[in-house]
Structure formats: C-alpha cells, structure tokens
Structure 1
Amino acid sequence: FILVFSIILHTTFATNLPRAREATLIEVSSPTEVLIKAAGLGIDKKHSKPKAAVLDQSANDDAAKTAVWFVLIGGSDPLIQTEKEKVAFQKIEEAFFGIDNIRKFISWEADYYDKRLKTDGGKSLKIEKSFKINKALLEEYLVNKSVFQKFTNISASVGMPTIMVIPESNNDIAPLDLLTQNPDIKKGAEVIEAYLSAKQFSVVVPEQQQVLQELSSTQFALGGSDDDYSYLLALSIGSDVYVSYNISISTRIVGTSDVKKAVVGCRAYETTTGRLLGTETGYSQERPSATNAALIEEAMSDAVDKVISRIINYWKTDLKLGIQYKCIINVSNVFDSEQAEEIIFAVGDACKSVASLLKENTVADHTYDISLWVNPEKYPAVSDIYRAIKASYTGEGIVKRVSISRKLILLSVEEE
C-alpha cells in the first residue's frame, strides 16, 4: 500500500518533469554548447476544448525541458552518470525542471518547428524543434546544488588528470613526426587541446626533442618492450589518460563543385593499463570550398566531446580507489628462479601494505608487473610510495629505484 501510494503521489505532483523525452544530438557547437533537436508534448488541462495557444506554449516548454533532460540524463554520454549523482539529482529535479529555471540553460532556440502534429483527437500537440544548451552552465548549477563534486576540490587533493594527445600512425612514420609535418594532424591535436583545456584538464602534446630521451629510457627499462608507441610514450611522460586520433578527408564531385567531408576517430585509453575508456567517430557536413582545418574542427568537435564524458566518468570512478600507478619490479639474475619467486612474494607483500588495491598484470620468473591504487593523502608524492615499499620489504636482497615518473615506478631487487 505504501509503495502504491508513493507512486501515485509522485505521479500527481511531479508536474514539472518533461513529458516527451525524445531528443537527438545534432552537433557539438563549442566546448560549452550542444545543439539538440527535441520533441515537446503540449497539453491543456484548463479547458474542456484545448486552446491552440495553450497547446503551443505547453509543447514549446516541454521541448525545452526535454532538450535539457537529454543533455543531463537521456543521451549516450549524459552529464549525470554515477548512481550517487542520480540520487542527488532526484531530490531537486522537480524544482530544476521549472520552466523559468530551464530557460537559463538555453542559449538559442529555433523560431520554427521541424514537426507539428496534433494527437489524441486534437487534445494534445506534439512538436519538434532545435535548441542550443549551455552545458557549462548546467555543470556549474549542479555543482552549486551538490549533485556534482567540484573539480577544483578534486584537483586540490589529487590533481586534475593529465592527458596526452597524440595521432595514430602506422610503422612508416612516427606519431611525433606527423605532428610536425602534417598540418591536418596538427589541427586535430589543437582542437582536442582546446576542448580538454576548457574542461580544466592538464594537456600534454609531446614535442619530438622533449620526449625522445624519456621514451628510450622507458623502453630500455621495460626490456626492449614491443608495446604500442603511444602507450610507452604516455607512460614515459606520466599522463593519466592518453587520447589518440585519426583524420580522413574525402572529396567528391556534386554537379560542377567539389565537396569535401572530414571523418575523425578519437579514442581515450587509461595509461597505466592501456584499457580503452571510450571511442567515438565524428563527421563534418559535406561542404564545397571548405578548408581542411574547418572540416577537421567540425568533425573533431563532435567526437571529442563524447570522449571527454567518458574520461570524466573514469576519473570520478578511479578516484574512489585512489591514484593509480604502474609498478614494475625486476629481480636481478644473480638470484635463481626459486629465490626470485620468494623475492616476488615479498615484494608483493610490501606493495600490498602501501596500496588500497593491487592488481597483478604479469608475474614472470624475474619480473613482477602490477597496478597500484594509493591513497594520495597518505602518499602525496610518488617518491613516498617508493620509500614505503623499500621500507616494508623483508625479502632477500635490497629494493632499488631504477626510474620514477608521475605514473610509472620502475624498481629492481639487487644483491646486497
């Protein structure tokens, strides 16, 4: 009885929530705005014979609510993602969807309908029209209402995620060479940089001379690893996430004009494991006489906005466990296989005493490859982690530092 009553009560009083809840993302207009086509369902409860003006206003208001609802909850990459955020938003959703509040987040709306159709024997009106929604204002509002945690609060304790941006490449040319030699590839990196910077991420676009030495030392420390170039580079410069991308521009003749279209692929990976966080494809419109740069910006904007949503969701989730590091321990060959096994067991125990969570990636005869999640308040610097592991180790030999970067800890166990 109580459950039934609560459902009836919610249905009776939840008058501000959108009715239509049908919408489509048209384009990402900028790092802060998206263009949405939304349906609206107009009703007139005051008159036995519905008034056209009332139906129109009701449908317009409902379409506006639906457009904002789509950005918040309804799309494939909504702003509200975690269960905690959903519960917090439910507490304020009735007031939030008041039409005066909703209008604050609409920066533009079409002055015409894409569709207009009377339904239910003329008692209701269904429309479709387009709106531009300001996502930045939405995020700010939800932070102020404690639905979202303020990113500055997160960054104060653990730092914002550092993201490396690098193009995909085949074996013929290195990605870093593509950045300097191909203007289309360079433009792609610039667009991604702009979007990430607008979201307050720390962005790294590696330059050739800056990273070659670090990359070489990382490969050497990993024993001449054949791992993906981008993955090794991300580890060497200490990014939390790396974003790779590719660009393709096609041309065809329409009538007497050449029209061009850009297609871009954008992928985000977790640096310490190489795990794919999200992949999206973006498209520009076919346009005559358009520059490659304009087409790339249009297509990349569509793709990178969705990938950023995946990165934000990953970062929120991962922070619950602590800061993640990749740690590789090599045991000296002076120890035989049985000794090395006991040493690896002892190293594992030392690492577990430091980590809130430990995941084993590889356990070989003389190599121990793990991922660690560490409390940043207890171990604010990566060197603190090394010191704690070294102090906790009770096995044969001595733990020594090979190399330590922001996300990669390379250690060895040597004979004393």
Structure 2
Amino acid sequence: MNFVNYAIGFLVLFASIAAADNGTVSTRKNANSAYKELDGSSTAKKSGGEIKHTDRYSQYEGKYAPKDQPQSQPQVITSIPEDFPHPVIMVIPALNSKGLSGLQVVTNNPLARAAMDGINEYLTQRRYEVKYLEGNEALDKVIQVQNSLASSDEDLAYLASLVLNADVYIKFSGSVDRRGIVTVELNAYESSTARLLGTQNSTIDSHGRMEKIDQQANLKTAAKKAMPGLESKIYAYWADDLREGNKYKVIMNIRGDYDDSQIEDVEEDIVQNVKTKFKKAKVNTMTAKTIDMVVYSDSDDVNDVYSQIRKAVKSTASTKKINITKKLIIMDVL
C-alpha cells in the first residue's frame, strides 16, 4: 500500500491544530494564509477501490513538494571528508503559498517542531551552522526585502535563506496516515539560485500508536533518518559549486525614466558590462522593470562584489543600493 499517495500535508495539519487552540492566526502585511480547511475527508486510490480517510487528521490535506527537479542526478557519496567546507543551512517548513504565516508554524506547533528538531539535531551533530526563521526581527527583514523588489513573486523561503545568509535551505513536509505510518520528505535547495539539490524521504511505523507524544518522537526520528541521504546529495553539488566561486543573487530594479527601446539598450549594456567583471554571470529573468541574475566571484565580500557591479553599470546608468546581505544584492538602476 502506498501511504504517500494519501499523505496528509504537515503544514496544514500543524496550522489546523494551532488554530484550534488559539483561534485564527493573524498574518503579517503582504502575507497570505498558507492553510485551507477542506470538507472533512480526503480520498486516495488503491487497486481494488477507493479508500476514504476517517482519522482525526483526514479533514486536512496539502501537497507541498516542489514541482521542479534537479537538473541532473547527483553522484552518490558514501563518505564526506572531515575537511568538507560545510554550507550554512536554513531549515523551514514547505509551503504551498507565499504567506509568511506558514513560516512561523514551528513556533506554535509541537509536531512541526519535532520534525525540525530532528533535522537540526543531525546538522548540529555534524557541525553545520543552522539558521531558521523565527521571531519578529527575522520576519521583518524578509518583509523588508520583499517590499524592496519590483516584483513580489519570489518564494519567501528562498528570500528568507538569502536574508539569513544561508548557503542551502531545506524544506520539510510530511504525513501521518491512519495506521500511524509517519512519512517525512526533505528537499534541499541552493540559496543563490533556488536550484533543487536533492530530495530524500523516510518512513517510520508507529505500529498504531497515535498519541501525540508518539507522533512527535516518530516525526523527529523520520526526519533525522532522512538526513544522511540528503546530506550526500547536498555535498555532491556543493563540492562542484565551490570550484565556480562564490555565488551572489543580484536584483536590479529599473527605476529610470526610459522608453521601451531605451530599456532594451540599457539592460543589454548592463548585462554585458557585468559579465566582464566576474568569472561567470547568468541572467535568470529580465523584464522591463527588473534584471535578476547570479554572479560568480572569487571574493567572499559582498560589498566588494557590489562595488564591482556599480563600476560595471556606471557608464550606462546611475545606481542606488537598496539592500545587501551575505548572498543578496538589491539595487535600483536610475
């Protein structure tokens, strides 16, 4: 029986429990609700008929696995060197919307906290620096960055990883079926590009024990169990990425008073000039309002990188610094 096919999304499960205890959770400005209460039942197909869920969690459902896939399969790594330069990692719940309220769910719900603790425990034992989005100050920083963008369509987990100076971020989600089978799914992404590095699943059989304390223990165990496989996939990509240099996400908001033909010329000049300053530069998207690119540099000083970009753009347009973190540069082109 494939229990994953009728999995109950962690995030909606967590949010529903918090809402039952505390009432409706107020969200921050510019944030959307990440949770939707459904009709009280969910179904899953099985050879021989349709199975209807009736357990206490079955009135909620959610699927939060990313749709994108790794560009290529990572090499299987069986042993990670002791001197491996560990990336800074952020851990966050997977979301099916861009609402900031969902990023706070681990603060209020012990089930989400248990899964997150399993991941964090593994990482800290392996001497990784771990970041996670909790507290008003961290949320305010993410909102500030979002508001400084010409487009607010960026995934907030992605933005949060850049704001918190993480190199890699891990999204976690999971399910508990009516027999007590706990399933956890982990997805790792590279922060500067949001590239999917790898996915890892694990399951734990609760043998019918559905008490909350049992679920918490099994969620933590399942999350920790999935980490060695995910770590090897992260390492396979990370080792290759280090050879290309440090990556920086650069967002240029076009604020100058340009007509359509001028914008094309200005953007073309900017991109070509920036490419001459760095080992590698890749444009992700380019619109009439925004240039979104990643630059690769040997420098580990983001201010030095920003200075090089300013010099590259100077002959074409003036610039204004809006926001800079370790991995992110947001600037206006005037």
| TM exceeding 0.5 | yes
Q: CA deviation at 1:353?
A: 2.6
Question: Of 179, 190, 206, which residue of structure 2 is paired with 1:270?
Answer: 190
TM-score by length of 2: 0.70
The residue type equivalent to 1:360 in the other structure is V
The residue type equivalent to 1:363 in the other structure is M
Contact 2:118 2:221 in 1 (8 A): no
1:105 is matched with which residue?
A: none
User: Which is higher, the Rg of structure 1 or of structure 2?
Assistant: 1
Question: Of 238, 245, 248, which residue of structure 2 is paired with 1:315?
Answer: 238
Are 1:284 and 2:211 an aligned pair? no
Are 1:296 and 2:222 an aligned pair? no
Q: Which runs of 5+ in 2 are unaligned?
A: 1-73
The residue type equivalent to 2:250 in the other structure is C
1:389 and 1:246 map into 2 onto residues whose CA distance is 38
Are 1:368 and 2:291 an aligned pair? yes
Contact 2:253 2:332 in 1 (8 A): yes
Q: CA deviation at 1:337?
A: 2.5
Over 3 Å counting, the alpha-carbon distance change for 1:78 and 1:224 in structure 2 is: closer
1:88 is matched with which residue?
A: none
> What percentage of residue pairs aligned between the two structures are identical?
29
1:169 is matched with which residue?
A: 95
The residue type equivalent to 1:382 in the other structure is V
The residue type equivalent to 1:79 in the other structure is I
State the structure with bigger RCO (CA 8 A, min sep 6), 1 or 2.
Answer: 2
Calculate the aligned-residue CA RMSD, in Å.
Answer: 2.3
1:132 is matched with which residue?
A: none
Which structure is higher in helix share?
1
2:249 is matched with which residue?
A: 326
SS in structure 1 at match of 2:276: helix
1:363 and 1:200 map into 2 onto residues whose CA distance is 39
Are 1:356 and 2:279 an aligned pair? yes
SS in structure 1 at match of 2:205: coil
The residue type equivalent to 1:370 in the other structure is M
Question: Of 237, 241, 247, which residue of structure 1 is paired with 2:164?
Answer: 237
Contact 1:328 1:368 in 2 (8 A): yes
Deviations 1:279-307, CA, capped at 9 Å, x for gaps: 11110123354711221122112222211
The residue type equivalent to 2:136 in the other structure is Q
Are 1:383 and 2:309 an aligned pair? no
Are 1:207 and 2:134 an aligned pair? yes
Q: CA deviation at 1:77?
A: 6.9
1:367 and 1:339 map into 2 onto residues whose CA distance is 14
Over 3 Å counting, the alpha-carbon distance change for 1:329 and 1:246 in structure 2 is: same
Question: Of 300, 325, 329, which residue of structure 2 is paired with 1:409?
Answer: 329
Q: CA deviation at 1:391?
A: 2.2
2:19 is matched with which residue?
A: none
Report how many aligned residue pairs link the two structures. Answer: 257
| Residues 94-173 of structure 1 mapped to structure 2, 5 A cutoff | 139=80, 150-151=83-84, 154=85, 160-171=86-97
TM-score by length of 1: 0.57
Q: CA deviation at 1:170?
A: 4.3
Q: CA deviation at 1:200?
A: 2.5
Q: CA deviation at 1:245?
A: 0.7
SS in structure 1 at match of 2:284: strand
Question: Of 252, 255, 268, which residue of structure 2 is paired with 1:345?
Answer: 268
